[in-house]
Amino acid sequence: MTSTPDTIVLVHGFWVTPRSWEHWITHYEQKGFRVLAPGYPGFEVEVEALNANPDIITALTVPAIIEHLEAIIRPLPKPPIIIGHSAGGAFTQILLDHGYGASAVALNSAPTEGVHVVPFSQVKSTLPVLRSPANRHKAIGLTLDEWKYAFTNTFSDEEAKALYERYHIPANGGILWGSVLANFQPGHQDTWVDYRNDNRAPLLFISGSEDHIMPLPCNAPTSSTTSRTPSPNTSSTTAMPICSRRRRAGRRSLTSPSTGPCATPDEPLSSRRASIGGEAEAGSCE
C-alpha cells in the first residue's frame, strides 16, 4: 500500500462556487486522481439557485465552512492534496494547521489573521462589501464592472461577461468584514493559523502578478511567516516562496471546445484569477 495521495480536494473562494473548478476536475481526473470539489455548507445547489436565493450565503461562517470541509476530508483513506483559491487558500491553510492534507497549494490566497498589507487594488475589489458596515449581515454580489476589475481584469468585455454569467454569486459580507477586523480584535479570530505548528503538511504559495483582489503583496507576508517554520515532515520548510515571474503566452479562446470558459491546470500559475485562465507563469520556485 502506498502513501502517495490519490485524491485532490479543491476549495473555491468567494463570489464563485465549485463550478469554477469544472475544468480542473476534468484535468486531474484524466491524470488518475479522485477529485473532490466541495462547496460551502448549503452550496449543493447551483449558481443560478444561489443567485435567486442567497440566504444560504448570508448564513455562512468560517468555522462552519472549515467543519464542513473537514467532515469531507476526514473519512478519506489517505490524506489528500488540497488546492485552495482566494478565500479557499486561507481555508486551506487552516485545514493544514488542523492536521489535514498530505500537501497543499494556496492560489492567490486571501490573507489569514495577522497579514496587514492591503494594496489599493484589493481595497477597490472588495469595496462593494466593505463600503458599508451594514453589509456584514448581507450577501453582496458584484456588478459586471466590479467583476471585471476583481476577477477578469485581463479579459475582453465579452469574455468577462460570459464568465460573470457562468460563475458569479454574492459573497458573505460578514466573513469579509470579519477578516478585516480580525487584526484589530484581541485573541484569535476565525482566520487564525498557528504558523509555529511544525506538524503541518508542506504548502506552496502561488500568486499572480496581475491579480487585483489578492495580489502578490497579500501573499508574500503569509509565505514569509510560514516559511520560517521548519517542518519535520519535509526536512525543509512548510511553505515554498511565492513565485511571480511572468511568461507571455498565447491567449486561449473562451469558446474553445478544448478549454471551455475556464483555464485548465495546464496554466494554473496564472496572473488571472485561478479559475479563469492566464498568461503568466510562476516558473520554478527558488
Start-to-end Cα distance in the chain: 33
The closest of 244, 251, 239, 243 to 279, measured between CA atoms, is: 251
Q: How far is CA 210 from the centre of its chain?
A: 16
- pLDDT value at position 223? 64
Cell of 191: 482566520
Q: How far is CA 60 from the centre of its chain?
A: 16
Give whole-number Cα distances, 183 to 176, 215, 279, in Å.
13, 19, 34
> What's the one-letter identity of residue 118?
V
Summarised one tens digit per residue, pLDDT across range 177-218 is 887 776 777 678 888 899 889 899 999 999 888 888 887 777
CB atoms within 10 A of CB 21: 26
Phi then psi for 17, rounded to 5 degrees? -130, -175
CA distance 142 to 127: 10
pTM of structure: 0.80
- pLDDT value at position 226? 63
Q: How far is CA 228 from the centre of its chain?
A: 22
The set of residues, in sequence order, having a beta carbon less than 8 Å from that of 197 and lying 6+ positions away, is: 97, 229
Give whole-number Cα distances, 265 to 154, 262, 269, in Å.
18, 10, 8
Q: How do 81-85 and 7-11 pair as beta strands?
A: parallel
Instruction: Delineate the domains of the chain, giving CATH numbers in brackets.
Output: 7-236 (3.40.50.1820)
For the chain, the maximum distance between any two Cα atoms, rounded to a whole number of angstroms, is 54
Cell of 202: 508542506
**Per-position pLDDT tens, the chain of length 286:** 567 999 999 999 999 999 999 999 999 999 999 999 999 999 999 999 999 999 999 999 999 999 999 999 999 999 999 999 999 999 999 999 999 999 999 999 988 887 777 778 888 888 898 889 999 999 999 999 999 999 999 999 999 999 999 999 999 999 988 877 767 776 788 888 998 898 999 999 998 888 888 877 777 666 666 654 444 443 333 444 343 333 333 333 222 222 333 344 544 333 344 333 332 333 322 2
- pLDDT value at position 215? 79
